[in-house]
Copies of this chain bind each other. A is one copy, B any other.
Amino acid sequence: MAKLLDDVVGEFSRLPGIGRRTALRLAMHLLRMEEHDVELMSRAILRFRTDIRYCSCCNNLSDSDKCEICSDPTRDHSLVCVVEQVKDVLSIEQTRQYNGVYHVLGGVISPMQGIGPSDLKIDLLLDRIARGEVQEVVLALSTTVEGETTSFYIARRIHEYGNVKLTSIARGIGFGDELDYADELTIAHALHNRRPL
């Protein structure tokens, strides 16, 4: 195999979920692209890795010291939604229903994977609360054992600050989901938290 081809197939194969067969298909696609476009792709990959920063306020990915959301004066900075990952921010933003700000933990507490509270950006969150501008913290972590543990830990730490309202996103049957396929815990929770029409 030509070395140049072998190199690019090897590099694509390093990415998660991409085996050698897919990597070869991607490489062949590069040949059908304009050289200029491949240059843009190559540069975007490197620049993302070298220049991207973490927002000093919320730990979201950012082009500068403070992310777009934290820098936006039209957003409600007294309402902070705590999420695990950057992609959770994107998911919530896509709804266009949330006008508060975020706090990206960077994971959840997982003793199995050796991730403790100090590995997450919890202190950064407490610093924000200590500065006094936060009035409500919405926890939007996974409903896994690790997510619940993390929610519980954060709730306990936040309670030390006294006057911050603490909420969690609603759990229930998703729109378009069938009751038939929902697990018992979700159904029980959805019934318990029923709302008037």
Residues of A participating in the B interface, judged by any CB pair closer than 8 Å: 1-5, 7-8, 10-12, 14-17, 22, 24-31, 33, 35, 37-52, 60-63, 67-68, 85-87, 90, 93
With A2-B61, A17-B22, A87-B24 known as contacts, the answer to whether A35 contacts B11 (CB < 8 A) is no
Closest 5 CB pairs of A and B: A42-B46, A8-B48, A38-B49, A11-B41, A7-B44
Interchain CB contact under 8 A, A11 and B50 = no
Q: Which of B15, B49, B90 contacts A31 (CB 8 A)?
A: B49
Complex Cα spacing A42 to B23, Å: 14
Contacts of A25 on B, CB cut-off 8 Å? 16-17, 87
Complex Cα spacing A23 to B15, Å: 10
Least distance between A181 CB and chain B CB atoms (Å): 22
Interchain CB contact under 8 A, B38 and A46 = yes
Interchain CB contact under 8 A, A61 and B5 = yes
Interchain CB contact under 8 A, A14 and B42 = no
Complex Cα spacing A3 to B47, Å: 11
Least distance between A48 CB and chain B CB atoms (Å): 4
Contacts of A45 on B, CB cut-off 8 Å? 8, 11, 30, 38, 41-42, 45
Least distance between A75 CB and chain B CB atoms (Å): 15
Interchain CB contact under 8 A, A48 and B15 = no
Q: Which of B4, B28, B31, B62 contacts A47 (CB 8 A)?
A: B4
* Closest partner residue, chain B, to A67 (CB atom): B2
Contacts of A30 on B, CB cut-off 8 Å? 45, 48-49
Interchain CB contact under 8 A, B42 and A43 = yes
10 additional contacts (CB under 8 A) given A14-B41, A24-B87, A39-B46: A4-B44, A4-B61, A8-B44, A15-B29, A16-B26, A17-B22, A27-B48, A35-B49, A38-B45, A42-B42
